[in-house]
Amino acid sequence: MCDTLVAVGNSTVDGSVILAKNSDREPNEAHVLVHLPRQKHPPHSTVKCTYIEIPQVEETYEVFLSKPFWIWGCEMGVNEYGVAIGNEAVFTKEPYQKEKGLIGMDLIRLALERSQTAYQALQVIVELIDRYGQGGNCGFEHPTYYHNSFILADPNEAWVLETAGKYWAAERVKDVRSISNGLTIGETWDEASPGLVEHAVEKGWCKPGEDFHFARCYSDFLYTRLDGCRPRQCRSTELLKQCAGSIDAAWMMRILRDHGPRAETDPLWDPSRGWIMDTLCVHASFGPTRPSQSTGAMIAHLSSEFVTIWATGTSATCTSIFKPLFLCGEDFPPMGRTPTGKYDPDTLWWQHERLHRQVIRDYPNRIAVYREERDALEREFIQETAEALKSCRESNQAERAQVLTALSRRCFERSIQATHSWIEKVAATPLHKAPSRLFSLSWRSFNKRAGFPEI
């Protein structure tokens, strides 16, 4: 389960477009940050996606991907043209294709590698869906099947694309917009697949002559209700509108860390509360209604001049730090080995789990140990990035790449050093308020399955 949000130029502080997403996956499903350069491919070559091979294009663009380690595609990403995409699982009345095909994460990567605008990316996705369908297991340890919705953005505009099998509707974003794990497009849209309304009438989901509502007609009521998408989507929309006209990357970070209005007023709030995933920063717990948590986060700050990617590369957005990355032909900072679903201290993602899994043992007291220091460090990263981008305005491409790559490496090094310091501080902080018993039992099970050291 995930949340994706976007603000276009009339709602941001600098006229840019800003897309943000939390990726909610299983607790041990490590996220990895990947950089792929622009590449040319031989004629008639194919590309192996998560499950199937499809024809490759002549050239693929430079991309940043934030992805579950085992999936070919990505949960969110950005390309060299400033096209950024995030997807959501949605549950619909259309049958799920369980045979192997393209999954939503594959569709994101394929669109990023092949598109120069958000609208072109939309066209790539709907053409691929029409040709190959959406099919295959999307779960790590627990088989999961679903359809997808997307927000697609570039420095000039953004689109929402929502699908139900091979049927889809799309609308252009006017100011701010968010999507969660449910269909949101209603009676109006800008583009749609052929037969969208007629198919719903044929299935008996609406009557001829009645007002057609895409979300109402195509949504699976039970799963859409149980996944907590409505309160999350309402909350993200509320927070976007609250700052409309002055939204920046820092405000998007604030939204992705949000735990809802209860947490704002209750200093003793802890993530063990609740039965469904109804907060934007999600924490896994017991039972089928809280199987996932925020395992990675990304903010894409898209302007015609510069594209800045802010990524955590780590789990639990409220315990993580955003670092800047840039697509300028250079390799990303070293992040250790590629993580898997088993504990590995030589990977960025699992290093941070030593902090995250200590914090949630007494969340209100332990997050307070380093939150202000983390926020101050993040503000420094934002300021240093703004200064670096300003200095690069008159630079050539090689000089710009050198400056921005060095900045990114420094920020990653400082965040890793800070994380190790925070691990020690948090571990030395006595436990005052234990989380619920079911929450604790769940995390003992997650830890055991990952081979995570006892804490």
Backbone angles phi, psi at 330, to 5 degrees: -100, 155
Residue type at 406 in one-letter notation: A
Backbone angles phi, psi at 36, to 5 degrees: -125, 125
Q: Which of 2, 74, 392, 411 is catalytic?
A: 2
364 C-beta neighbours (distance < 10 Å), count: 16
- Spatial separation of the C-alpha atoms in residues 264 and 255, rounded to whole Å: 12
- Spatial separation of the C-alpha atoms in residues 321 and 300, rounded to whole Å: 15
Backbone angles phi, psi at 435, to 5 degrees: -70, 175
- Give the C-alpha distances (Å, rounded to integers) separating 113 from 63, 161, 244, 256, 393: 7, 18, 31, 26, 26
Q: Is residue 234 among the annotated active site residues?
A: no
| DSSP label of 209 | T
92-126 core/surface letters (b: 16 or more CB in 10 A; e: else): bebebbeeebbbbbbbbbbbbbbbebbbbbbbbbb
Across-strand partners of 102?
A: 134
Helix 229-242 / helix 249-256 crossing angle, nearest 10 deg: 150
Q: Quick one: which H or E segment has residue 215?
A: helix 214-218
Task: State the residue for tokens 């996220």.
Answer: 31
At a CB cut-off of 8 Å and minimum separation 6, what does 182 contact? Answer: 90, 91, 215, 219, 224, 227, 229, 230, 233
- Spatial separation of the C-alpha atoms in residues 1 and 74, rounded to whole Å: 14
Query: From its phi and psi, is residue 425 left (phi > 0), alpha (psi between -120 and 50) or beta?
Result: alpha
- Spatial separation of the C-alpha atoms in residues 204 and 316, rounded to whole Å: 42
Q: Which strands make up the sheet holding 176-179, listed edge to edge?
A: 176-179, 3-7, 17-25, 293-302, 307-311, 323-325
Whether 181 and 224 have beta carbons less than 8 Å apart is answered as: yes
* Enzyme catalytic residues: 2
